[in-house]
Amino acid sequence: MKKYIPNLLTLGNLFCGTVAVMYAVQGDFEIAGLLVVAGIIFDFFDGFAARVLRVSGELGKQLDSLADMVTSGVVPGIIMFYLISETQTGAEVFINPINAVDFMPFIGLILTLGAGYRLAKFNIDTRQSDSFIGLPTPAMSLFVISLPIIFKYSESAFVHGILENTYFLIGVSVALTYLMNAELPLFSLKFKEYTFKKNIVKYLFILSSLLLIICLNVISIPIIIILYVLISIIQNYFKPK
């Protein structure tokens, strides 16, 4: 019976992602974002359960990527499509988006394509058992789902100006797509042991993230993702060859 537990958690991720798609298409990005976060939590615990119960297998690996493709691939692409659409039209376009906008919003869907390509590579890449090569799709998804929430609750004219800029959103889409598939080693938050000396980078990152969340709330999410990439780059630079 225990071999089914990780797969059930993975299906929980897929369920959250599927429902998130429905809310994202309707323009309810807050609910969609919460469902994506719930899916990512399921995604974390399915791997954790598989390791604890020692029931890892090829089926679980493939199912995990399929679920991630929906939760952390399709949903952020839809959200970015609508964000760019609104910068083009100046109004919500949830009823008939394709007739309401030009081709530019479709550029946001490269996030979905990039996520699919990354997940396919991940399944055949034996180098990513203890760390990542390229930005994980859940990290990309968290970055994107935070943008409409930041826009809604931020009172900063500067923040609103950035998030209403078509070219900024397209730049974010291109940059995240590149980072997902770049040959860039990034540390993983998986722990083989919990000593501070051997996990100093992970602990400092977790502590910094918590402080940013306390101080900046939802605005901290894209900053944390950027910090994660920067710390990994610095760590790679100083790592012994």
How far apart, in whole angstroms, are the C-alpha atoms of residue 59 and residue 13?
A: 15
How do residues 20-67 score in pLDDT, each as one tens digit? Answer: 999 999 999 999 999 999 999 999 998 888 888 888 788 888 999 999
How do residues 85-103 score in pLDDT, each as one tens digit? Answer: 888 765 555 545 555 457 8
CATH number of the structural domain spanning residue 83: 1.20.120
For residue 71, the 8-state DSSP code is I
User: 29: exposed, middle or buried (C-beta count within 10 Å: 0-12, 13-18, 19+)?
Assistant: buried
Half-sphere exposure of 77 (CA within 13 A, CB side): 20
User: Would you say the C-alpha torsion 52, 55, 56, 60 has a positive or negative sign?
Assistant: negative
> Could you tell me the residue range of the domain that residue 116 belongs to?
2-238
Q: How many domains does the chain have?
A: 1
| Stretch (H or E) spanning 3 | none
pTM here is 0.90
